[in-house]
Amino acid sequence: MGRGATTRPPEPPLPDWLRARLLHVGPELLVLDKPSGMPVSARSGESLEHWLPALRMGKRRDPQPAHRLDADTAGCLVLGRTAPMLARLNALFAERRVGKLYWAILRGTLRGEHGTVDAPLRKVSTAASGWRMQVHAAGDPARTAWRILGRAPGLTFVELRPETGRTHQLRVHCAHLGAPILGDAMYGGGPGSLHLLAREIALPLDPPIRVAAPVPGHMRDALAACSSPG
């Protein structure tokens, strides 16, 4: 080995629980069913970043997320396995060409069967309660289409299609409608696990890729109560 050469750390084994969460494996990208409660990145504690070397699976570089999901949101997360594909995915997300569909259980009821929330969002912060997002006329444009899929006493099962990708957009927009997402303590949904799933992702590639994530365990009872398709 020549002077100055470095060796790449060996690829760690891919644990069974992570292998089981691979929804799509291609030569240039992965789609992972991210667990609820796991941040994509974190300054301390376990995050998806910790497991990226195990997801290398023969590649020279670790895959990298092409977008973000909140730590408590479960479901489809796209990772680029090569630099060209990661750049292409980043452009698709920036241009809003990726189809994103979410399922959520709301704490409360909505009028009508479908609609669109067009409410700009801005970040606010206080020393007492930290930061959060709020609807404000001076915020960044944010739009979310919604459609009801089922109901139960005090609960509503909805499909959400964000047309923009603002931080906490779906959570704040649902609260703005008067029915926050169940388990979203920050925005009025009460304690417990966040009932929000990145259900489906559609990538306009050649050929197109469409992937759906399974319903996580903590959402199954509420979905069953709402007579969901499961």
- Supply the residues annotated as catalytic: 70
CB burial readout 69-82, b (16+ within 10 A) else e: bbbbbbbbbbbbbb
Query: In angstroms, rounded to a whole number, what is the distance separating the alpha carbons of residues 72 and 141?
Result: 24
Radius of gyration (C-alpha) of the chain in whole angstroms: 19
Would you state the structure tokens that stand for residue 139, as one six-digit string? 């915020």
Burial of 194 (0-12, 13-18, 19+ CB in 10 A): buried
Neighbours of 124 (CB within 10 A): 12
CA angle 206, 212, 214 (to 5 degrees): 160
Query: In angstroms, rounded to a whole number, what is the distance separating the alpha carbons of residues 1 and 50?
Result: 29
Backbone angles phi, psi at 32, to 5 degrees: -110, 140
Backbone angles phi, psi at 225, to 5 degrees: -65, -30
